[in-house]
Amino acid sequence: MQLTHVRNATMLIETAGSRILVDPMLGAKGSSIAAPTVVDNHRRNPLVDLTTPLAELLDVDAVIVTHTHPDHWDEAAAALLPRELPLVVQHEEDAMKMREIGFSDVRVLQTSLDLLGATVTRTEGRHGSKEFLAANPAMGEVSGFVLDAPGEPVVYVAGDTVWTDDVAAALADHTPDIVVLNTGEATWITGDAIIMGADDVLRAHRALPDAQIVAVHMEALNHCVVTRDQVRALAAEHGITNLVHVPEDGEKMTFA
């Protein structure tokens, strides 16, 4: 299995002969607005350009979108991806959006489904604390997934979530070989963190000590405060650099 960290949460999973694109944000640097934040950075998103050739990202067999916030599904992705691709989304509301713009094979991940011979199982997440979401319902629903292809490592993509009982349950129930966490600690205008941070890498390691952890969703958006170097330093401090991967944009990782 090969994972390519593209940028932010965008990832290419190559497994069992298939290429699956996850959470495509394909626009050029600065093509989207800045997120509202207390962080002293109001540059437009994304902060960096793609390093992976666009043609490589469009040459895929399927797409999984954990939710449709613009850093996971942007205008460029909506315009450029082939309309016949199998497109997996979290609920019927997102499915309707995709069908309205011409995608013909949209699949709702309610519990689990077959995708190119692999089993994709939905996992739950929460895009901030319960109190934050009660005050900001427009933040909406998010999800993650577990991808299990015969003869390949099991991958858990947690999605845009803070640490919750659902995350802990996904680790315990599926015992994935690879855990992909969004650890940039994106911080909203209210000061609330709406995704995981560096310390959650340690939580995941303690919950599943043998898993390979891939930390992403850093250094690409104006409201993310955790850097790659911070996660690397934390992994080194705790002696788990062999288990924690902090890829650069465009970096390919191979797992057996």
| Tens digits of residue pLDDT in 135-183 | 999 999 999 999 999 999 999 999 999 999 999 999 999 999 999 999 9
User: Is 130 within a domain?
Assistant: yes
Determine the Cα–Cα distance for residues 123 and 142; give it in Å rounded to an integer: 9
Number of domains present in the structure of the chain: 1
235-254 confidence digits (pLDDT tens)? 999 999 999 999 999 999 99
Structure tokens at 38: 């207390």
Considering just the CA atoms, what is the radius of gyration of the chain in Å?
A: 17
User: Is 256 within a domain?
Assistant: no
Find, among 139, 209, 137, the residue nearest to 179 by Cα.
209
Average pLDDT (13-37) is 97
pLDDT tier at 219 (50, 70, 90 boundaries)?
A: very high
Domain that holds residue 6: 2-247
pTM: 0.98
Decide: 76 and 38 in contact? Cβ < 8 Å: no
Task: Look up tokens 């626009």; give the residue.
Answer: 27
pLDDT tier at 227 (50, 70, 90 boundaries)?
A: very high
Task: Look up tokens 């924690």; give the residue.
Answer: 244
76-119 confidence digits (pLDDT tens)? 999 999 999 999 999 999 999 999 999 999 999 999 999 999 99
User: Is 106 within a domain?
Assistant: yes
User: Is 255 within a domain?
Assistant: no
User: Is 254 within a domain?
Assistant: no
CATH code, 215: 3.60.15.10
User: Is 252 within a domain?
Assistant: no
The pLDDT of residue 175 is 99
48-77 confidence digits (pLDDT tens)? 999 999 999 999 999 999 999 999 999 999
> Is the previous residue joined to 46 through a cis bond, with omega within 30 degrees of 0?
yes
Decide: 215 and 246 in contact? Cβ < 8 Å: yes
User: Is 71 within a domain?
Assistant: yes
Letter string b/e over residues 82-113, b meaning 16 or more CB atoms within 10 A of that residue's CB: eeebbbbbbeeebbebbeeeebeebbebeeeb
The pLDDT of residue 209 is 99
Find, among 96, 85, 152, 165, the residue nearest to 119 by Cα.
152
User: Is 253 within a domain?
Assistant: no
pLDDT tier at 120 (50, 70, 90 boundaries)?
A: very high
